[in-house]
Chain A
Amino acid sequence: MEEQDQNIKLPFFGITRIFPYVKRYRWIMLLMIVLGCLSSLIDSAYPLFNKYALDHFIGENTLSGLAGFILLYVGILLFQVADNFVAAYLCGKVEMSVDRDLRNAAFNHLQTLSFSYFNQNNVGYIHARVMSDTGKIGVLCAWRMMDIVWHGSYIICVFIMMLTVRVSLALMILALVPLAVIFILFFQKKLVVLNRRVREINSRITGNFNEGITGARSIKTLVVEDRIQSDFEKDTEDMRVTSVRTGRTRALFTSTVTMMSAFALAIVLWQGGQLTAERLMLIGSLSVFLSYTLYLIEPIQFLIQTISALIEIQVNIERLTRLLNTESDVADSPEIVEKYGDTFRPKRENWEKLFGDVEFEDVSFRYPDGEELVLEHFSLKVPQGTNVAIVGETGAGKSTLVNLVCRFFEPTEGRVLIDGRDARERSQLWLHSHIGYVLQTPHLFSGTVRDNLRYGKPDATDEEIREALRLVSADGVVDKMDKGLDSDVGEGGDLLSTGEKQLLSFARALLADPRILVLDEATSSIDTVTERAIQEAIQTVIRGRTSFVIAHRLSTIVDADVILVVQDGKIIEQGTHRELMKKKGAYYELYTRQYEEMIVNLS
């Protein structure tokens, strides 16, 4: 996907797409443009002072008007310094503000997107949109724009000045400009391609470092150090060759540019010198031309670099605006938002109590990125307080039902009813606020144990927290930590083991006191004794709540009110343990196989 994005072409480099986000700053930006033009005008006027000094003081051998000369110079200088200060400060302010607004917009929009978006785009990709695209666009709106203003207006001012001093000489220099532009464009194009390659190899090398470090244990146990290293050296060699080629091209570029400037200088010296020798032009005018010529090529070069930066940035604009324009697959209708509020402005006063009756009514479902229907005309009543177990092989699609109950996805056809009403008739936040959820791979946020446990119930007291911990036998985990509830869990809970993280995330779910509880293979890597403790806690906790348990160890779910057996994404059997055993179908086979294996060795 990244490869394709590289060659994107948008009208006006896609700048129009970010207008809505910079509209707030349009007056500041206009002021910046005016200040930028003024500053360039003054820059182009400085050589005139030198001309005056040469022609008047030195040429006429007098110091009359020196005081006025100094005063004027200092006056203009002070004005320009103030002008530059304000322009640069505003520029930085606009850059950072646009940056901030875009980051907020992207982040907040992400909070409303449905899970299909997160399934289709990996975290690194989305993160780069929020953190790095926004920064690049901020730079574009401020510094890139000002680069064009500064250098563009400088070039124009210089030509006007040159034309007023000596038309013929000015036209001669002007004629050289297209030549310079062609040269610069040629090199710039080459460099863009080379730089892109260097960046690609560079990210490969960083990836290699990452692999060599995070994979240290595997590399050692597999004894593949030599192979990993020789592959790494291939990449660094590739990098060396490409970088040297880039360096050579760049060297050729800068020396050509210097040459061109010197060439223009020589022409001025030759033609202008002739005019001066013939007394058609004053020495001062010659010096003005010389300094204009010397400093003309740089702004042209900058201008072209800015334009190539604009071309590069299209990709970022496209990616970010695509994110901002992505519509959620699961969205509340305007009437629902009107009544219940949206994600960020919930109207809790209008929320009904949730009892926990769940009903699938003739539901058919296909994942947005899938082709096959994984549910077809599925109906199931789950009265309040029912315990539903979902079993099946790894990757069989056991999460589908849970995704529908939580309204992470919506049915393709049919309805999911919560307390007898279509889930779509209430807001997502209303539903989510009543659901407790424990994941197979537990996720904690950096911060203290208390912060994490309060995630589902911000006003929980320490007593409540301890009670929840005790219920899931996680009090031991916290007691072991040196600061108790105030202990830091590390980034993403890194300081805890997977089992401990699971216990804490379980306590977190309980604390939220949800009407519907979802346990997604939550017990897979806790040892048997701890797991048993949790099982007991679950039994107490799910009493009175509607619960969905995804498990792959059948012994843990025989008491469930309904067991659903999933195979290849479809529900092939449903019933209680007894019913399913009697049926002698897939469940029976799954169960007896697990059971027999134990019995074999008993005899």
Chain B
Amino acid sequence: MEQNRETEKKKYTARDRTRILLYLLSGSKRFFALGVVCSMLVSLFNLLNPRIIGYTVDYVLEDTAGGATGPLQEILAFFGGASFLRSNLFVIALLVTAVALFSALFRFLLQFFLAIGVEKFLKRTRDRVFSHILRLPFSWHSENHTGDIIQRCTSDVETIRNFLSEQMISLFRISILIVFALFFMISIHPMLTLAAAAFVPVIIGYSLFFHNRIGSQFLRADEEEGRLSAIAQENLTGVRVVRAFGREVYERERFEKQNSGYTKLWIRIMMLLSAFWASGDLISNLQLLTVMVFGSVLAVQGQLSAGAYISFVFYNSLLSWPVRELGRIISDMSKAGVSIDRIAYILDSEPEKDEEDAAQPELTGDITFSHVTYHYENAPTAPGVLEDVSFTVKAGTTVGILGATGSGKSTLMYLLDRLYDLPEGGGTISIGGTDIRRIRREHLRRNIGMVLQEPFLFSRTLEENIAITGRTEDKKLIRKRVREAAGIASLDHAVARFASGYETRVGERGVTLSGGQKQRTAIAQMLLKDAPIMVFDDSLSAVDAQTDMKIRKALRERIAGATVILIAHRITTLMQADRIIVLDKGRVAEEGTHDELLAMGGIYRRIYDLQLAQDEE
């Protein structure tokens, strides 16, 4: 965790952020560029119509402006002159429609290109991040909280998506709109424009200030909601405990207290938001009033025609909303930087990497642990420490390991599978004489069938879970092998009780299996791997003794010739091993066959007596 915070502290500069963003944008940049071009055209066409309407009022409907001059005159002439247009106003209506058609076309293209670009970007980002996560070392996974990583992969990606497709484009679109509109407005009347534009920085600044201030309140509300949600979650998962202790009243009080605190916080935020919206209305409408009054005065003074006035008011009202949005957009954009950093943290973490000359030898030889020493500093989250552990598992034999919780058994197996790597000077683990650090990880892991104490099931059918390591596509063969393995793992009876049999969906979004069923599924899964080395890490703990025995009997027949490491608490499980190692506080305390260890009268004997004591009566 500490280490994690250190890494997190790494400061990303604007350049780093751009580098990450460009990396993720590879392949979608041109669509964003096309979007930008389209958005300029949309703004341009949007702003044409008010001008056309204004001219129509001045030169066609009324002649107060005293006739057109310059290029405008030619345009009027092109359409048949003012008097022709006056009796055939539909021509102007068609013109307005045509301009709108272009505006609509470019608006469509803008959104379409953006959709293509954004979705390409999202796919690339998700794929890259996911693939990277899969290849990060296990120590990284245990140091980082699942919820936090998932949040990075989902809501932070979403934040960047909004940044690209909403904020960046809106910022650009609104800026263009402001520039173009101001240009048109200046061409109508510079002084009036100044009066109208004076409000723009005020509105943006005010909105920016507010959004920055309220950001922390939103954050707090999120935290409070998280707490409320956690209370509900714990109450539901612990429903048996709540009922058995009769603590419903306590739970209710706890929930209602948090709930009303959270609600009060939100109501306060709503008050602030309402005040913000209302004052925004006030400023915007005062701006409209200013333009109206000032415009009227100018018109009365003869500086502004009626049509010009209408156009100007149109432009002004077109700007009103976008300008109000600008403050929020700018303040939201600052969040994107943090999200990019959070994703960069994943992408910049060092993945597992084999040495260039990593070997892929046959892994059928003896497994030798030689002076293996491993401390918490190497992996703060490892389940135990190891001190100078040495022993050999002869090829084709079974070695049992017994040890109390936290004695380092699991750590030893993680080291064997290179989930953790032994540091230099921490001894060696070798298979058939080759140091495992010189063996390609993929090759090593493929050749070690490891069954974990708390196995993980994928959100697929039982059959797909069991066959997940299989590399054949032959459906019939898979079926046959899955059923055979399930038989050995004593899973077949349980499966027969499911309505959909092997097609039953398990995992997060499927049927929940019991601990024992999960362990048996994991054993079947491992069998399909056909690995020469098998490791059972306390993997029958949730299975009752009778089933345990049945499985081990079937396994013995099946795995003849494999090298097996068997970790267990039960003497009955261990005693048939060729050799048994007793680990105590990270050291090898005893080693020998079942009989030898019994004769030795040490820890093994004591545990044996404990487990057998009452049976002998």
Determine if A558 is an interface residue (Cβ-Cβ < 8 Å).
Answer: yes
**Interchain CA distance A96-B134 in the complex, whole Å:** 41
On whether the beta carbons of B120 and A240 are closer than 8 Å, the reply is yes
Q: Mark B485-512, 1 if CB is under 8 A from A, else 0.
A: 0000000001000000000000111001
Is B589 part of the binding interface, using a Cβ–Cβ cutoff of 8 Å? no
Does B459 belong to the interface (CB within 8 Å)? Answer: yes
Instruction: Confirm or deny: A31 has a beta carbon within 8 angstroms of a beta carbon on chain B.
Output: no
A283 to B60, alpha carbons, bound, how many Å? 12
With contact pairs A77-B282, A262-B97, A269-B89 given, residues A437 and B270 touching in the complex (Cβ less than 8 Å): no
Q: Is the CB of B306 within 8 A of A130?
A: no
Query: Within the complex, which residue of B57, B130, B288 is in contact with A286, where a contact is CB–CB below 8 Å?
Result: B57
The answer to whether the Cβ of A218 comes within 8 Å of any Cβ in the partner chain is yes
Q: How far is the CB of B242 from chain A (nearest CB, A)?
A: 7
Contact A558 B238 (CB under 8 A): no
Q: Is A25 at the interface (CB under 8 A from chain B)?
A: no
Are the CB atoms of B289 and A107 closer together than 8 Å? no
Partner of A262, one of B103, B131, B469, B610: B103
Does A111 lie at the interface of the complex (its beta carbon under 8 Å from any beta carbon of B)?
Answer: yes
Q: Which one, B122, B150, B547, B610, contacts A206 given CB within 8 A?
A: B150
Q: Are B259 and A103 in contact (CB under 8 A)?
A: yes
Contact between A529 and B404 (Cβ–Cβ < 8 Å)?
Answer: yes
CB of A259 within 8 A of CB of B260, answer: no
Interface of B is mostly: helix
Q: How far is the CA of A271 from the CA of B61 in the complex (A)?
A: 12
B244 within 8 A of partner (CB)? yes
| B89 A273 Cβ-Cβ under 8 A | yes
Contacts of A224 in B (CB 8 A): 468-469
0/1 string, A108-135, CB within 8 A of B gives 1: 1011100100100011001100110000
> Beta-carbon contacts of A570-603 to B below 8 Å, as 1s and 0s?
0000000000000000000011011101100110
A406 to B29, CA, bound (A): 64
Min distance, Cβ A206 to any Cβ of chain B, angstroms: 6
Once the chains bind, are B445 and A435 in contact (CB under 8 Å)? no
Q: Which residues of A contact B541 (CB under 8 A)?
A: 524-525
A255 interface residue (CB < 8 Å to B): yes
Contact partners of B114 in chain A: CB under 8 A: 247
Pair B613/A497 contact, Cβ less than 8 Å: no
Contact B236 A223 (CB under 8 A): no
Chain B residues whose C-beta falls within 8 Å of the C-beta of A338 in the assembled complex: none
A93 touches B235 (CB 8 A): no
A553 interface residue (CB < 8 Å to B): yes
Tell me the bound Cα distance from A122 to B116 in angstroms.
38
Specify which of B115, B230, B459, B514 is in contact with A251 (CB 8 Å cutoff): B115
Which of A8-16, A56-64, A367-375 forms part of the interface with chain B? A56-64
Question: With a CB–CB cut-off of 8 A, which chain B residues contact A524?
Answer: 541-542
- With contacts A93-B270, A211-B459, A555-B612 taken as known, whether A455 is within 8 angstroms of B245 at the C-beta atoms is yes
B170 to chain A, nearest CB (A): 14
Nearest CB in chain A: distance from B451 CB, A = 9
Q: Which of A107, A491, A497, A559 contacts B235 (CB 8 A)?
A: A107
- When the two chains form their complex, are residues A223 and B289 in contact, meaning their CB atoms are under 8 A apart? no
Complex CA gap A278/B275 in Å reads 47
Q: Which among B104-112, B360-368, B371-379 touches the partner chain?
A: B104-112
Q: Which residues of B contact A538 (CB under 8 A)?
A: none
B33 to chain A: which residues have CB within 8 Å?
none
CB pair B615 A394 closer than 8 Å? no
Residues of chain A in range 46-97 having any CB-CB distance to chain B below 8 Å: 46, 49-50, 53-54, 57-59, 61-63, 66, 69-70, 73-74, 77-78, 80-82, 84-86, 88-89, 91-93, 95-97
Pairwise interchain contact A555-B615, C-beta atoms closer than 8 A: yes
Q: Give B580-617 as 1s and 0s: 1 = Cβ < 8 Å from A's Cβ atoms.
A: 00000000000000110010000000110011111101
**B187 CB-CB contact with A under 8 Å:** no
Residues of chain A with a CB closer than 8 A to B273's CB: 88, 92
Contact partner of A211 (CB less than 8 A), chosen from B123, B138, B446, B508, is B508
Answer whether A247 and B230 are a contact pair too, CB < 8 Å, given A265-B100, A524-B542: no
Residues in chain A near residue B135, CB distance under 8 A: 225
Provide the residues of chain B in CB contact with A112, threshold 8 Å: 248
The residue of chain A having its C-beta at the shortest distance from the C-beta of B234 within the complex is: A445
| Pairwise interchain contact B278-A85, C-beta atoms closer than 8 A | yes
Most buried by B among A229, A252, A527: A527
Chain A residues with CB under 8 Å of B244's CB are: 406, 432, 435-437, 518
Is B419 within 8 A of A558, CB to CB?
no
Chain-A contact segment, one of B171-179, B385-393, B427-435, B570-578: B570-578
A254 to chain B, nearest CB (A): 6
Contact B119 A247 (CB under 8 A): yes
A243 at the interface (CB under 8 A from B): yes
User: Which one, A150-158, A159-167, A231-239, A306-314, is touching chain B?
Assistant: A231-239
- Given A63-B300, A529-B607, decide whether A110 and B240 contact each other with a Cβ distance below 8 A: no
The reply to whether B445 and A220 form a contact with Cβ atoms under 8 Å apart is yes
Residues on A with C-beta less than 8 A from B259 are: 100, 103-104, 107
Is B615 within 8 A of A593, CB to CB?
A: no
Q: Given A221-B452, A343-B249, A213 and B547 touching (CB < 8 A)?
A: no
Cβ 8 A contact of A74, one of B89, B101, B289: B289
Q: Are B542 and A525 in contact (CB under 8 A)?
A: yes
Q: Are B252 and A108 in contact (CB under 8 A)?
A: yes
**A526 interface residue, CB < 8 Å from B?**
yes
Alpha-carbon separation in the docked complex, A206 to B116 (Å): 21
Q: A248-B112, A283-B306, A527-B569 are in contact. Are A111 and B614 (CB under 8 A)?
A: no
A266 at the interface (CB under 8 A from B): yes
**Given A70-B293, A77-B289, A223-B445, are A88 and B544 also a contact pair (CB < 8 Å)?**
no
Interface centre among B105, B240, B317 (most CB of A within 10 A): B240
**Bound-state Cα–Cα, A137 to B168, Å:** 33
Contact with B along A22-62 (1 / 0, CB 8 A): 00000000000000000000000010011001100111011
Q: Is A448 among interface residues, defined by CB-CB distance under 8 A?
A: no
Known: A88-B274, A233-B127, A262-B103. A432 touches B138 (CB 8 A): no
In the complex, are the beta carbons of A497 and B234 less than 8 A apart? no
Chain B residues lying within 8 Å of A66, measured Cβ to Cβ, are 293, 296-297
Interface flag for A424 (CB, 8 Å): no
Chain B's closest residue to A263 (CB) is B97
Contact A394 B442 (CB under 8 A): no
A258 interface residue per 8 A CB criterion: yes
Residues of chain A contacted by B75 (CB below 8 angstroms): none
A412 at the A/B interface (Cβ < 8 Å)?
no
Q: Which chain B positions have C-beta within 8 A of A208?
A: 130
Contact with B along A206-222 (1 / 0, CB 8 A): 11111111111111111
B271's partner among A89, A130, A344 (CB-CB below 8 A) is A89
Contact with B along A388-402 (1 / 0, CB 8 A): 000001110000000
Question: A222-B468, A239-B122, A286-B57 are contacts. A92–B234 as well, Cβ < 8 Å?
Answer: no
Contact present for B292 and A49 (CB under 8 Å): yes
A81-B278 contact, Cβ under 8 Å, with A207-B509, A394-B544, A491-B230: yes
* Contact among B57, B458, B544 with A552 in the assembled complex (CB-CB below 8 Å): B544
Give, as a whole number of angstroms, the nearest-CB distance from A274 to chain B: 5
Please, which residues of chain A bring their CB within 8 A of the CB of B234?
A: 445-446, 491-492
Q: Which of A54, A115, A246, A263 contacts B306 (CB 8 A)?
A: A54
Closest chain B residue to A283 by CB distance? B306
B236 neighbours in A (Cβ, 8 Å): 110, 118, 123, 126-127
A-B contacts, 27 of them at CB < 8 A, read: A46-B288, A49-B289, A50-B292, A63-B297, A73-B289, A74-B286, A77-B282, A81-B279, A85-B275, A92-B267, A104-B259, A111-B235, A115-B243, A211-B459, A220-B419, A229-B131, A232-B127, A236-B123, A262-B96, A274-B89, A283-B306, A428-B243, A458-B250, A500-B405, A528-B569, A530-B405, A594-B546
New contact pairs (13) apart from A256-B104, A594-B615, CB-CB < 8 Å = A92-B266, A209-B153, A215-B456, A222-B468, A223-B445, A244-B119, A248-B115, A258-B107, A259-B100, A270-B90, A394-B514, A432-B244, A437-B244
8 A-B pairs with the lowest CB-CB distances in the bound complex, closest first: A247-B115, A92-B270, A262-B100, A251-B111, A437-B244, A270-B93, A85-B278, A432-B246
